[in-house]
């Protein structure tokens, strides 16, 4: 039977440097809270048998968010926020496996592939501790990994004790420990003189002095270990993960004309042979079919679905709506809370007014309808199959199938020949 680990996520800190009122670990990255990226990866790994989250700052809010999304995650509380070593020590009783994987909740760029390889490396090396490290060409405020003349890791120097470094091996803050060795020694860590906190990194020096085996696992892509401590860090992480997601889409046959100006979310689904033009924003829970055209300057908001062959063009917004096959909505239009039938044309400047100031309302537009330029559809509304609205119409009442309406408010003009 393959060995397994208890995964321990440290999520107790305040992180004053992000300057936000909400907990840092709930800040969104590609439409998903930072800590969710970590939990997603852990849930996908056979090596991980249980997940424990250490909470502190605004613990109720963080715990509630996690419980809504995930089952089986356990929690422990660090009432006094006095360092990562004390956070780990708080979780001692909940660590059931003989090995423990320790991660920080603010390192969402670490991939499941790297974590899988790392845990496997830990077991194969039979180390008492393994650390994910990275080589940074640019300056970094991550802790520096120190090695002795034989290449053995002997210590980690935290950023509070050194100036920012360049071209050095740095600590990711992700570890695998033999549980007995960890908890036998964690109480020996002393408070840092400057920060007055107990740093987990200090245990590496303790292990070294006891001749316990400490191994480093250096990642090829240093961006995986970037932590989110400031808004600038978050912005950089957004660029990195956005490019990853776009690369995945392109690998599946989606044409992204300019990846640098196209923005997608963690669960964006786009079919083969669809073309996405620049300055397009696609939010979470969006599905776009094959052979579609989206953008430029399009905003596809959450819970929208665009089916095969549809075209959504310049300066358009689709919000919580379904556009069925071959719908054309090419210019300066907004549809919200709307279902648009197959082969319907949405003319330039069309607006579905779905909000009355208090509530959102739904609209249904039938198949093969023609919505004239500048039409305003006041929701709730229903426009029938093969119906036409004249340019500049304001639709305040249901429009029957096979009819033409014009005016403000829109009124019946004539019948339309059935297709």
Q: Mapping DSSP to helix (H, G, I), strand (E, B) and coil, where does residue 347 land?
A: coil
Contact call for residues 371 and 344 (beta carbons, < 8 A): yes
Give the HSE-up count for residue 31: Cα atoms under 13 Å, Cβ half-sphere.
17
Catalytic residue among 57, 331, 361, 362: 331
The string of DSSP codes covering 127-164 is: -SEEEEEEEESS-B-SPEEEE-TTS-EEEEE-GGGS--
Contact call for residues 177 and 122 (beta carbons, < 8 A): no
Q: Is 264 exposed, middle or buried (0-12, 13-18, 19+ CB in 10 A)?
A: buried
Query: Which of these, 316, 313, 396, 322, lies nearest to 365 by C-alpha position?
Result: 322
CA pair distance 73, 91, nearest whole angstrom: 13
12: left (phi over 0), alpha (psi -120 to 50) or beta: alpha
Give the HSE-up count for residue 238: Cα atoms under 13 Å, Cβ half-sphere.
19
Task: Please give the distance of CA 176 from its chain centroid, rounded to a whole number.
Answer: 25
Contact call for residues 174 and 118 (beta carbons, < 8 A): yes
331 in active site: yes
**Residues designated as active site:** 331
């Amino acid at each position: 039977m393959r060995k397994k680990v208890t995964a321990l996520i440290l999520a107790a800190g305040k992180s004053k440097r992000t300057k936000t009122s909400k907990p840092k670990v709930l800040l969104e990255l590609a439409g998903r809270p930072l800590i969710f990226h970590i939990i997603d990866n852990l849930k996908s790994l056979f090596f991980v048998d249980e997940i424990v989250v250490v909470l502190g700052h605004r613990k109720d809010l963080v715990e509630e968010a996690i419980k809504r999304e995930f089952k089986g995650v356990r929690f422990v509380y660090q009432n006094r926020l006095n360092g990562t070593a004390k956070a780990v020590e708080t979780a001692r009783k909940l660590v059931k496996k003989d090995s423990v994987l320790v991660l920080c909740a603010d390192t969402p760029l670490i991939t499941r592939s790297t974590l899988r390889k790392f845990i496997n490396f830990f077991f194969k090396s039979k180390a008492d501790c393994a650390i994910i490290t990275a080589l940074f060409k640019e300056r970094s405020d991550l802790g520096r990994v120190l090695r002795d003349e034989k290449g053995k890791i002997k210590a980690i120097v935290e950023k509070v004790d050194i100036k920012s470094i360049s071209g050095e091996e740095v600590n990711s803050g992700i570890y695998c420990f033999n549980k007995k060795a960890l908890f036998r020694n964690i109480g020996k860590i002393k408070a840092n003189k400057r920060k007055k906190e107990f740093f987990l990194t200090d245990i590496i020096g303790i292990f070294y002095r006891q001749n316990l085996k400490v191994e480093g696992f250096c990642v090829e892509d240093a961006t995986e270990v970037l932590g989110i401590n400031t808004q600038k860090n978050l912005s950089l992480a957004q660029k990195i993960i956005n490019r990853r997601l776009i690369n995945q889409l392109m690998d599946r046959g989606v044409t992204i004309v300019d990846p640098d100006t196209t923005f997608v979310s963690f669960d964006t689904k786009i079919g083969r042979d669809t073309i996405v033009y620049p300055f397009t924003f696609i939010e979470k829970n969006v599905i776009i079919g094959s052979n579609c055209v989206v953008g430029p300057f399009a905003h596809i908001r959450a819970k929208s679905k665009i089916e095969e062959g549809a075209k959504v063009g310049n300066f358009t917004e689709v919000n919580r709506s379904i556009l069925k096959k071959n719908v054309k909505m090419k210019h300066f239009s907004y549809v919200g809370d709307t279902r648009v039938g197959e082969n319907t044309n949405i003319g330039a400047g069309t607006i579905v007014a779905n909000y009355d100031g208090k509530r959102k309302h739904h609209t249904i537009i039938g198949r093969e309808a023609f919505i004239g330029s500048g039409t305003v559809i006041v929701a709730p509304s229903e426009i029938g199959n093969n119906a036409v609205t004249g340019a500049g119409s304001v639709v305040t009442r249901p429009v029957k199938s096979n009819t033409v309406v014009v005016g403000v408010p829109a009124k019946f003009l004539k019948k339309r020949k059935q297709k």
